[in-house]
Amino acid sequence: MAESSFDSDDRVYAEIIVVRHGETSWNAERKIQGHLDVELNDEGRQQAVRVAERLSKEAKISYVYSSDLKRAFETAQIIAAKCGKLEVLTDRDLRERHLGDMQGLVYQEASKLRPEAYKAFSSNRTDVDIPGGGESLDKLYDRCTSALQRIGDKHKGERVVVVTHGGVIRSLHERARPTARKIEKILNTSVNVFRLYEGDKWTIQVWGDVSHLDQNGFLQSGFGGDRTSG
């Protein structure tokens, strides 16, 4: 990865390093998490250590934000400890998409066990809520892009880490690159660097970087970081 650094207009943008949480046992088992609060597994903790070590060697990080769900918060705590023993600031708006009646199911069984929820989840429309209290893609987009914008507005001229989830990161990509091809998957602890400028302009400097992991160090299916969300 080419290391990003602040240039002559450093006061007009915030650099936000968006990291997907480490692996959970449910990611490995292809179970749908959504808002269910699943912890990291041992592999996920090792991934978090590796991304933390990487970030600790880059330019100074001022703040660490996280979803309040355990898999993200624990990843953020490991990063924060390595990057100056920072406090982790939680924000519920950084949570994964609420997947309603799909949550807790093995993905391959969802269409049989919860056909209405699966139909809503698989819809090409972005305004369809998932039965069981689930969110539409539009609601997820509004929630998480507003959260990142708030963080960006607060931290112009600083580098900030945000630890969140696959569905959220896909929405953030769409906000920064609305005409780009849809993202297929977001790997665990992948590094994605956004710059948020004055006037609501977003750019992406680094995307999907897992160079801190070896080839056996991540779940290559990206389960939970694709359309399945996790």
**Which residues are the active-site residues?**
21, 96
143 is in an annotated binding site: no
Is residue 44 classed as helix, strand or coil in its secondary structure? Answer: helix
126 is in an annotated binding site: no
124 is in an annotated binding site: no
Distance of CA 71 to the CA centre of its chain: 11
26 is in an annotated binding site: yes
C-beta separation of 9 from 191 below 8 A: no
Cβ neighbour number for residue 42 with a 10 Å cutoff: 10
Q: Tell me the C-alpha to C-alpha distance, in Å, between residue 42 and each of 13, 37, 75, 120, 205.
A: 36, 16, 12, 33, 30
Least Cα distance to 180 among 211, 207, 198 occurs for: 207
Q: Which residues are annotated as a binding site?
A: 20-27, 71
Q: Which residues are annotated as a binding site for substrate?
A: 20-27, 71
